[in-house]
Amino acid sequence: MLERSVLRDLNTLGPKADTIAVHLVAAGSLVDEDPQRALAHVRYARDQAPRIAAVREAAGIVAYQAGEWAEAARDLRACRRITGESTHLPIIADCERALGRADRAIELATSPEASGLPRPIQAELVIVHSGARRDLGEVDGALLLLERFGLDRAQLRPWSLRLWYAYADTLVDAGRVDEAREWFAAAAKVDHDGLTDAAERIEALNSPDGAHADDEPDDDQPDDDEPGEDER
């Protein structure tokens, strides 16, 4: 149930490799239904094999889904140091946002490593960057970031749904409710798996108190159901 590359790395640990592998598999099986139990499994694996990149990656992602932002950031940074890769930069930046450190999230989003990431991961990072700007009250700047990345509704991309939703949500924050309805509608149209609450947001905006719909939870904030980039 684990990738061969992960098993190969675990085999360098000798007799305890099988035990750690079992804990990683258990964490993967439990993370959606019981993130806290999954977290216990990856913590054990991490304590036994702190220098294995795949273990630190799993620990970071499970901690993120369990809402343990500081722990998630530490483990994913450790994975980044071991591998030299910045694949999980959006999640690390999102953790900084959740910890109230918007400036640090922006620093990560604008780092040299960010520009070299694959386009789908850049999309996740720009959503986090935009959210961090909103945290600082820079709503116009948040909108501009999303616009510059590309919002063409005529060309559907793998990241379009989340990008359009984030843009609509930011438009609400800017008081541009009519435009927000249009972008929520665009997101709802392509959200065949119900990954967002775009349809519900449209209903909220159409209700008598729709002007206060921006009190709804922001989809670009970290949550327990979605790690960010593995749609990332």
pLDDT exceeds 50 at position 222: no
Dihedral sign computed on CA atoms, order 107, 111, 113, 119: positive
- Which is nearest to 125 in space by CA: 232, 38, 37? 232
What would you measure as the largest C-alpha separation in the chain, in angstroms? Answer: 64
- Say which residue, 212 or 29, is predicted with more confidence: 29
What distance in Å separates the CA atoms of residue 184 and residue 202, rounded to the nearest whole number?
6
Least confident of 31-40, 169-178, 210-219: 210-219
pLDDT tens-place string over residues 134-174: 999 999 999 999 999 999 999 999 999 999 999 999 999 99
Least confident of 38-47, 123-132, 160-169, 204-213: 204-213
Q: In whole numbers, what is the pLDDT of the chain averaged over residues? A: 90
pTM over the 0.75 mark = yes
What distance in Å separates the CA atoms of residue 104 and residue 89, rounded to the nearest whole number?
12
Least confident of 130-139, 173-182, 208-217: 208-217
- pLDDT for 223: 46
What distance in Å separates the CA atoms of residue 27 and residue 41, rounded to the nearest whole number?
6
Beta carbons of 39 and 63 less than 8 angstroms apart: yes
What distance in Å separates the CA atoms of residue 177 and residue 207, rounded to the nearest whole number?
12
- pLDDT for 183: 98
User: SS3 string of 142-157?
Assistant: HHHHHHHHCCCCCCCC
Q: Terminus-to-terminus CA distance in the chain, angstroms? A: 20
